[in-house]
Amino acid sequence: MNIDHYTYRLTWSPEDNEHIGLCTEFPSLSWLAPSQEEALAGIRQVVAEVIADMQSNGETIPTPLADKHYSGEFRVRIPPEIHRALAMQAAEQGISLNRLASAKLAG
């Protein structure tokens, strides 16, 4: 597993007065460090160690979000009143409901 494909994020923790390194695919992991570079290096090392441990125990390793295939489709349940209002907006604009929803999600 290539740890470079995972989604890493750096943020500041005012409580700890340090930077935090995070990995989206491993939400329970984090690494505190004085600099962003050290926080990133730390979380990458923790991810590598956890993956090695998971592999040695025969556990399923999370697929990096970047490596997943996305169909471009998902279902969203909304109240009928909102569905009606969106359908009316789409009709007034001369576009499909799907196109309207996609534009609103992208905006």
Instruction: Count how many residues are written for the chain.
Output: 107
pLDDT digits (tens, 9 = 90+) for 40-90: 999 999 999 999 999 999 999 999 999 999 999 999 999 999 999 999 999
20 strand-pairing partners: 11, 32
Asked whether residue 14 carries a pLDDT value surpassing 90, the answer given is: yes
Q: Where are the domains of the chain?
A: 3-66, 70-106
Q: Evaluate if pTM is beyond 0.85.
A: no
pLDDT at 105: 94
Query: What is the DSSP secondary-structure string of 58-89?
Result: TPPPPPPGGGS---S-------HHHHHHHHHH
Helix (H) or strand (E) holding 90: helix 80-93
CA distance 33 to 16: 9
pLDDT at 107: 87
CA distance 53 to 70: 28
CA distance 65 to 3: 12
pLDDT at 1: 74
pLDDT digits (tens, 9 = 90+) for 22-45: 999 999 999 999 999 999 999 999
pLDDT at 65: 95
Q: Which CATH number fits domain 3-66: 2.60.40, 3.30.70, 2.120.10, 3.30.160?
A: 3.30.160
